[in-house]
Structure 1
Amino acid sequence: MHRTTTSSLALLPLLCTLSLGAGAAEYPASPITLVVGYGAGGGTDVCNRVLAMNVGKQLGQTVIVDNKPGAGTTLSLSHGARQKPDGYVLTALSSAGVLNQVLMPKVAYDVVRDFTPVAMVAQYQAGILVRADSPHKTLADLIKASKSSAKTLSYSTAGIGTPQHLTAERLAKQVAVDWVHAPYKSGPEAITALMRGDVDFMAQTAEWVPYVRDGRLRLLAVFTEDRVKGFDAPSLKELGYNLVAPSTLGVLGPARMQPATVKKLQDAFHIAGQSPEFENCADQFGLKLDYKDAPSYSAYIQDMLKSWTPVLKQFAAAE
């Protein structure tokens, strides 16, 4: 009897190893949720839905998009950080989620400590826009009007702490003007505010692409290193302002996910990001395709925090 018990105990490590291996091989055994920190209908939401559909087909399980908009994606990330690290709840990451943990020290997550990067698939491309009937034909016109108008000009964005918000504020400081920021919960809401005249201009990621193409909005400048392909507007750098908005559209899981699960998800998002459907979505909303695997994405996030933290602390102190 003693011999049998000892033998059984000796087999336990092997049995546990086999069980863990089987579990990894079976993943996913049920639907996966992808939490998106913006409202339905914007570029982040639509393109994540395209990714989710493709990833679901590859993995043989439905990937459900759950919109939790608000507070510059800190609500969705706070929710994602509390989930089990089993790969069944993932969170979409935009740059705002990274930057806001510096701007809002009381947020309930740390993007490096509390998450496992899965993959990055694209970059946002942002810019400054006015309505087609605006008297401002160039960024110089807008700045001149900001200095001479008796009324302080206002602008819309998809939220506080977004790269477009921070870049617009840094530009305002460089040109010595005051602008009133009107934050919304999504790009479509920010666009609607501009279209109906609630604000004078908009600083927003390229959900504006169809509006510029059909002539309803005018793009004055972009926040990218170079001009956005297909559009004539200059970059801020080209205009002499050394400003480039940080950018990422990617996916995270909770901290301490199993490497085998991360690898399976990473590869699925890589394939999904190369699909014709996602490329069409990227073209529609002005995204720049840019894939990074889990290790590269982790380094990218850490580099973003390192380079932008001093700027963000100065910005927060000035508020």
Structure 2
Amino acid sequence: MDKNTMRRRAFIAAMLLAAVPASPVLADPAYPAKPIKLLVGFAAGGGSDVVARLVAKPLGERLGQAVIVENRAGDGGNIASAQVAKSEPDGYTLVLMTSGHGTNAAMRKDLPFDPIKSFSWISTVTTYPLTLAVAPASPIRSFGDFIQRIKAEPGRYTYTSVGVGTAMHLVGEWIMAESGGSALHVPFKGGAGPMTELLAGRVDVMIDTMTNTAPLFKSDRVRLLATTAPRGVQALPGVPSVADTLPAVVFESWLGIAAPAGTPAAVVGRLNRELRAVLEMPAIRQQLVDWGGSPQASGPDAFQARVEQDIQRLRAVVAQRKIQAE
């Protein structure tokens, strides 16, 4: 091969390479090269916010760039999710999602993003089962007893949640659908209302997160009938699962981190690895446990599958029970 032919081939190869758009990973092999934003869809000081700040600092230390928590509160977390969904998929804008993402998708058809396809799923952070609690003096002695009562006397008993369309409400209706019983839903708009009414004897059962009820259980202010975890919870010895009686009813609230759809696989992989390492730190794990959670990292595919399953199951409950947003 003569020198002119070699030069021509080298020139053509260089032109072809120049014509191929560089992916963000190729263009920025040193990711991350600047601070990363972690959006939280709820106000500062709330449960999701404190978890975000707990993991942000050590995650930033492992990545070599600060992870800055920014609150974008409103619309049940959808404001933050919408902002991330339309952000550049370069790994510099993330969102701490809650399981409310699934309930929002189950209840609403007007979300400004696709609840699955608009995101690259990085990892769950922690999970929290829901609990069914009664006042200490309640005549309802067990979850099985509760089911028997709502089947024998439909509409006599009540259960409360922090609002229509919340996970607590949908799980309550899921229990009704699977058991064939009927209890009246008494919704509150968050706050201490459910607990106040339960302890006053004006509602029979409260469905809430373990984060809120575990301290009350440990101080004997409530009795727990069951949790919605797939099996008994180590932190709540002797408390059975709803699934022991109704095998189909399994639900855990969760927190996890996602990025915009199209984020390069190498970036997702790096974030997943470093987040897993953070969640293995004893101090981080213990703090999450102290807050009533179970530290739980996952692969991106497993995280996406969890969200898809939540949406599918809860949409079925919404349709079967004809639940409408207020």
**Percent identity between the two aligned chains:** 26
The residue correspondences of 1:137-286 to structure 2 (distance < 5 A) are 137-139=141-143, 140=145, 144=149, 153=158, 155-157=160-162, 160-173=164-177, 174-184=180-190, 189=191, 192-197=192-197, 200=203, 201-208=205-212, 209-231=214-236, 232-240=238-246, 242-286=248-292
Question: Paired residues, what number?
Answer: 309
The aligned residue for residue 65 of structure 1 is 69
Question: Shift of residue 271 of structure 1?
Answer: 0.8
- Taking a change above 3 Å as real, the CA distance of residues 205 and 266 of structure 1, as seen in their structure-2 partners, is same
Corresponding residue SS for 1:233 = coil
Question: Shift of residue 46 of structure 1?
Answer: 2.3
The aligned residue for residue 80 of structure 1 is 84
The residue correspondences of 1:41-120 to structure 2 (distance < 5 A) are 41-120=45-124
- Asked if the contact 2:123–2:272 (Cα under 8 Å) also holds between the matched residues in 1, the reply is yes
Q: Which runs of 5+ in 2 are unaligned?
A: 1-6
- Taking a change above 3 Å as real, the CA distance of residues 196 and 120 of structure 1, as seen in their structure-2 partners, is same
Corresponding residue SS for 1:250 = strand
The residue correspondences of 1:1-40 to structure 2 (distance < 5 A) are 10=14, 13=17, 23-40=27-44
Query: How far apart, CA to CA, are the structure 2 residues paired with 1:217 and 1:39?
Result: 28
TM-score, normalised relative to structure 2: 0.78
Query: How far apart, CA to CA, are the structure 1 residues paired with 2:146 and 2:297?
Result: 37
- Taking a change above 3 Å as real, the CA distance of residues 79 and 18 of structure 1, as seen in their structure-2 partners, is closer
Corresponding residue SS for 1:35 = strand
* One-letter identity of the residue aligned with 1:179: H
- Asked if the contact 1:46–1:281 (Cα under 8 Å) also holds between the matched residues in 2, the reply is no
Q: Deviations for 1:178-211, whole angstroms, at most 9, x for unmatched residues?
A: 1222242xxxx3xx32344487343122212223
Query: How far apart, CA to CA, are the structure 1 residues paired with 2:23 and 2:101?
Result: 36
Question: Shift of residue 75 of structure 1?
Answer: 3.1
Query: How far apart, CA to CA, are the structure 2 residues paired with 1:113 and 1:19?
Result: 20
- Asked if the contact 1:47–1:281 (Cα under 8 Å) also holds between the matched residues in 2, the reply is no
The aligned residue for residue 316 of structure 2 is 310
Question: Shift of residue 142 of structure 1?
Answer: 9.2
227-236 or 297-306, larger mean C-alpha shift = 297-306
- Asked if the contact 1:96–1:161 (Cα under 8 Å) also holds between the matched residues in 2, the reply is no
- Taking a change above 3 Å as real, the CA distance of residues 161 and 75 of structure 1, as seen in their structure-2 partners, is farther
Query: How far apart, CA to CA, are the structure 2 residues paired with 1:163 and 1:310?
Result: 13
Tell me which of 288, 291, 298 is aligned to 2:304.
298
* One-letter identity of the residue aligned with 2:296: D
304-313 or 215-224, larger mean C-alpha shift = 304-313
* One-letter identity of the residue aligned with 2:182: A
* One-letter identity of the residue aligned with 1:260: A
102-111 or 217-226, larger mean C-alpha shift = 217-226
Query: How far apart, CA to CA, are the structure 1 residues paired with 2:112 and 2:98?
Result: 17
Question: Shift of residue 141 of structure 1?
Answer: 5.5
Query: How far apart, CA to CA, are the structure 1 residues paired with 2:49 and 2:292?
Result: 14
